Amino acid sequence: MATTHHVADVLAQHLSNYKEIHALTYQQQRVCQHIQDCRTVKLGAQQWQCDRCEHNKTVYCACRDRHCPQCQGHVSEQWSEQQSKDVINAPYFHLVFTLPHELNGLARQYPREIYSCLFHAVWQTLSQFAQRKKQLQGTLGMTAVLHTWGQSFAQHIHLHCLIPGGVLTSSGEWRGVKKPYLFAVKALATVFRAKMLAAIRAHKLMIPQSELLMKKSWCVHSKVNLTEPKTVLKYLGRYTRKGMLHEGRLKQVTKESVTFSYKDYRDSKIKRMTLTGIEFIRRYLLHVLPSGFMRIRHYGFLASACRAKKRDIISAQIGKYEAVNQGKSETPVPVSVNWPCPSCKQGRLILKSLCIKDAKIDGLATGSIIMNSG
């Protein structure tokens, strides 16, 4: 049976050596602490007992940090389920806007400002095209998610955008996109470049190699449009809630190095890369977001403030969305845990108590808490 490795194992082996060379920000320090404490006695434990036999199971609590690879899978499923009621019954377009690597250094110095500029520039670019295109002339809807990593964890800042194929005019009319693509990507890239650089200047930041960046072709990639609601939901979960690393990719963790698998998009083959433990941590911590920064944002008729109202207006014109959400309630249903008993194979495990002792949650020390369910 293959050994399972965790990012916590890497931190336990190499974080002390990393600190001798590199300084940690407060946010990076907190993330490292959360990952190391996740599912250990430091965050407390739940006591589960079978309702038919005397079997007991202790489950240690999760940190729920968005940078922790052990906490992302279940969150992704829950979030996709909640978003299912808001899927528009129309083709979706998937666009990816990428920052040139010349801006990586600036992003490391001013991450909040650069990432905010990226969201702003992308939405302004798409909105301009939607308003000026003769067949549309309305407001788009967009779900955008920030990724800062590539397959090898090097810095690769890009924004994934999922966009329903149509606009809502000021009079409430739905106008669908009739072509197999949303907008021409070369034209998008040119406008995106100008708006991104203008947004950075508005923050009074010095742009490195600005003349080169103005002449360079920026990358906007358009993927095949999505026509099935199930496919849209799969994309929502895949691109919005996944972390930078699924721990199944970790192949070996030693006192000297870390080996992991990655996909080389140049030939679409799965390969392995070995880094020193210090370099692996450096790359991993590049992607720690500023505290409170929203990496998933909704725009236009998908904005949280008006989504339900706009969705009803659109669905009345292009067909009911009940088929997409058949059997689903508007109110999110709490996810229940149903663990069969591994001992008697007949009963199920029921939560009996929760105990948290001297844990640190979001940097705040807590006292001992014991809660009994019976």
Is 300 part of a structural domain of the chain?
yes
Domain identity same for 143 and 159: yes
Domain identity same for 79 and 172: yes
Domain identity same for 197 and 291: yes
| Cα–Cα distance measured from residue 228 to residue 141, given in angstroms and rounded to the nearest whole number | 17
The sign of the torsion formed by the CA atoms of 188, 189, 195, 200 equals positive
| Cα–Cα distance measured from residue 359 to residue 316, given in angstroms and rounded to the nearest whole number | 51
Domain identity same for 229 and 130: yes
Stated pTM of the model: 0.84
Q: What is the pLDDT along the chain (374 residues), one digit of tens a residue?
A: 345 899 999 999 999 999 999 999 999 999 999 999 999 988 888 889 998 888 988 888 888 888 998 887 656 666 666 667 778 888 899 999 999 999 999 999 999 999 999 999 999 999 999 999 989 999 999 999 999 999 999 999 999 999 999 999 999 999 999 888 899 999 999 999 999 999 999 999 999 989 999 999 999 999 877 777 667 767 766 666 567 888 889 999 999 999 999 999 889 899 999 999 999 999 999 999 999 999 999 999 999 899 889 988 998 888 644 334 444 444 444 445 678 888 888 889 888 877 765 544 444 333 333 334 33
Domain identity same for 149 and 44: no
Is 43 part of a structural domain of the chain?
yes
The sign of the torsion formed by the CA atoms of 202, 203, 205, 211 equals negative
* SS3 label, residue 217: coil
Domain identity same for 29 and 132: no
CA distances from 231 to 67, 92, 238, 322 (A): 25, 10, 10, 17
Domain span including residue 121: 73-244+287-318
Is 155 part of a structural domain of the chain?
yes
CA distances from 267 to 158, 259, 270, 301, 352 (A): 21, 20, 9, 39, 52
Domain identity same for 184 and 311: yes
Domain identity same for 44 and 100: no
Is 159 part of a structural domain of the chain?
yes
Cβ atoms 55, 343 nearer than 8 A: yes
Domain identity same for 111 and 31: no
Could you tell me the end-to-end alpha-carbon distance of the chain, in angstroms, rounded to an integer? 38
